[in-house]
């Protein structure tokens, strides 16, 4: 293999795939990237055996070939070179030599044949949407995923496909986030799959806010996401996601309309003096007034009052303030609706202008 490429193009490609490479590896080969030069293209592939990312970049190809090289060393060397530099990568005598100007680096390699590449199964479902649409669906729900929960199916995000609708749902058992895209999609088959947490985070990082197309291909145990010059392939989480529609409150009789930024700012200030472990906040509802109160073991207290639209019966209820802030951050509109029923019933938050995103928060005793 012998190629020439600009420092900027190689660094961009390396940054696309480096996120999948774990710093601590059970197998040495997993710390490497697979580099394959063919025609006028170089493909770079990284994997952790559960997730694989492949990026294509144009190069001047003097001699085709394939080899694996240390991912982070290659990335750090490239990042440290001056902007606008031209690089050459040449493999010979079990070394990958990178040259740029007067700089020269010889990296140890491992055979390409040892690199574990995902097999591709027949596709069951395909659909296409834009970068912007998929990124928005993930952003509005990914924060509610569980972390290292024994209920492994909660450590991911549900992707649900129905005729004319695509939903993402995440829950950690204490809160739930749901986002929805309502339009006709190319997929004709009802499908539910659970994406692993790391896959969701990597997708969120790789997607942009453009209208460029993204193609999703689903098999019985994998999802493949194709962007313009990048392909992400991931195993799916096996298991059955909870019946999330059952936990979305439908009979709330106390409905509040609030300014999102105003309430968010008041919650943020009050949270400074909340209990650092439990993060509890007490909300007291009265006519057109929301009172927010927190206290901590040091006997410190905070109280905020916010003007709202509310004419129901008085109510006092406790929540985890971090959960409320996360839900408000996922709403784009200037006003939101907060639906409540009683001190021991879940609250429902959604944008006042449209309810394509819903956020359910369990109450807590204070």
Give 234-251 pLDDT, tens digit per residue: 999 999 999 999 999 988
pLDDT tens across 309-346, in order?
Answer: 999 999 999 999 999 999 999 999 999 999 999 999 99
Q: Is residue 121 scored above 90 in pLDDT? A: no
pLDDT tens across 267-293, in order?
Answer: 999 999 999 999 999 999 999 999 999
Q: Please tell me the chain's helix, strand, coil percentages from 3-state DSSP, rounded to the nearest 5.
A: 20, 45, 35
Indicate whether 289 and 324 sit together in one domain.
Answer: yes
254: confidence class by pLDDT, cuts 50, 70, 90: very high
Indicate whether 94 and 157 sit together in one domain.
Answer: no
Number of domains in the chain: 3
Indicate whether 100 and 166 sit together in one domain.
Answer: no
CATH code for the domain of 10: 3.10.150.10
Within a domain: 159? yes
Within a domain: 332? yes
Q: Is residue 135 scored above 90 in pLDDT? A: yes
Using alpha carbons, select from 300, 317, 159, 187 the residue that is nearest to residue 249: 317
Within a domain: 366? no
Indicate whether 59 and 32 sit together in one domain.
Answer: yes
Within a domain: 206? yes
Indicate whether 110 and 152 sit together in one domain.
Answer: no
Indicate whether 178 and 232 sit together in one domain.
Answer: yes
What is d(CA 286, CA 307) in angstroms, rounded to the nearest whole number?
10
Indicate whether 237 and 277 sit together in one domain.
Answer: no
Q: Which of 56, 90, 114 is where one domain is finished?
A: 114
Q: Which of 198, 225, 245 is where one domain is finished?
A: 245
Indicate whether 105 and 20 sit together in one domain.
Answer: yes
- What is the sign, positive or negative, of the torsion defined by CA atoms of 46, 209, 159, 184? negative
Q: Which of 89, 114, 139 is where one domain is finished?
A: 114
Indicate whether 236 and 137 sit together in one domain.
Answer: yes
- pTM, two decimals, is 0.93
Q: Is residue 187 scored above 80 in pLDDT? A: no
Indicate whether 352 and 308 sit together in one domain.
Answer: yes
Tokens 């559960």, residue located: 50
The percent of residues in the chain predicted with pLDDT above 70, rounded, is 100
Q: Is residue 124 scored above 90 in pLDDT? A: no
Structural domain boundaries enclosing 268: 250-361
Indicate whether 240 and 254 sit together in one domain.
Answer: no
Q: Is residue 356 scored above 90 in pLDDT? A: no
Indicate whether 92 and 161 sit together in one domain.
Answer: no
Residues contacting residue 15 through CB under 8 Å, at least 6 positions apart: 75
pLDDT tens across 1-42, in order?
Answer: 999 999 999 999 999 999 999 988 889 999 999 999 999 999
What is d(CA 37, CA 56) in angstroms, rounded to the nearest whole number?
10
Q: Is residue 362 scored above 80 in pLDDT? A: yes
Within a domain: 8? yes
């Amino acid at each position: 293999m012998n190629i020439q490429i600009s420092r900027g193009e190689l660094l961009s490609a390396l940054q696309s795939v480096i996120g999948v490479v774990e710093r601590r590896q059970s197998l040495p080969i997993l710390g490497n990237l697979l580099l394959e030069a063919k025609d006028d293209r170089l493909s770079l592939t990284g994997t952790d055996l559960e997730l694989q990312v492949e990026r294509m970049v144009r190069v001047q190809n003097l001699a085709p070939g394939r080899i694996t090289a240390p991912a982070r060393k290659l990335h750090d060397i490239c990042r440290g070179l001056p902007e606008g530099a031209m690089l050459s990568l040449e493999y010979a005598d079990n070394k990958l030599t990178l040259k740029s100007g007067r700089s020269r680096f010889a990296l140890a390699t491992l055979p390409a044949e040892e690199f574990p590449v995902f097999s591709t199964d027949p596709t069951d479902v395909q659909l296409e949407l834009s970068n912007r649409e998929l990124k928005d669906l993930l952003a509005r729900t990914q924060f509610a995923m569980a972390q290292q929960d024994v209920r492994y199916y909660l450590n991911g995000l549900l992707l649900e496909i129905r005729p004319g609708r695509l939903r993402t749902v995440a829950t950690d058992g204490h809160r739930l986030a749901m986002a929805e895209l309502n339009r006709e999609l190319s997929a004709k088959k009802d499908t539910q799959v659970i994406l692993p947490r790391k896959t969701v985070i990597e997708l969120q990082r790789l997607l942009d806010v453009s209208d460029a197309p993204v193609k999703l291909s689903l098999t019985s145990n994998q999802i493949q996401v194709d962007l313009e010059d990048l392909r992400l392939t991931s195993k799916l989480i096996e298991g059955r996601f909870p019946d999330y529609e059952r936990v979305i409150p439908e009979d709330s009789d106390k409905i509040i309309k609030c300014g999102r930024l105003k309430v968010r700012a008041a919650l943020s200030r009050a949270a400074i003096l909340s209990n650092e472990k439990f993060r509890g906040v007490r909300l007291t509802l009265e006519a057109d007034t929301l009172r927010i109160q927190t206290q901590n073991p040091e006997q410190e207290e905070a109280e905020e009052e916010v003007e709202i639209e509310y004419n129901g019966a008085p109510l006092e209820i406790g929540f985890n303030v971090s959960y409320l802030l996360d839900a408000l951050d996922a709403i784009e509109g200037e006003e939101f609706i907060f639906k409540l029923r009683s001190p021991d019933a879940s609250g429902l938050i959604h944008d006042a202008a449209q309810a394509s995103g819903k956020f359910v928060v369990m109450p807590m005793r204070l």
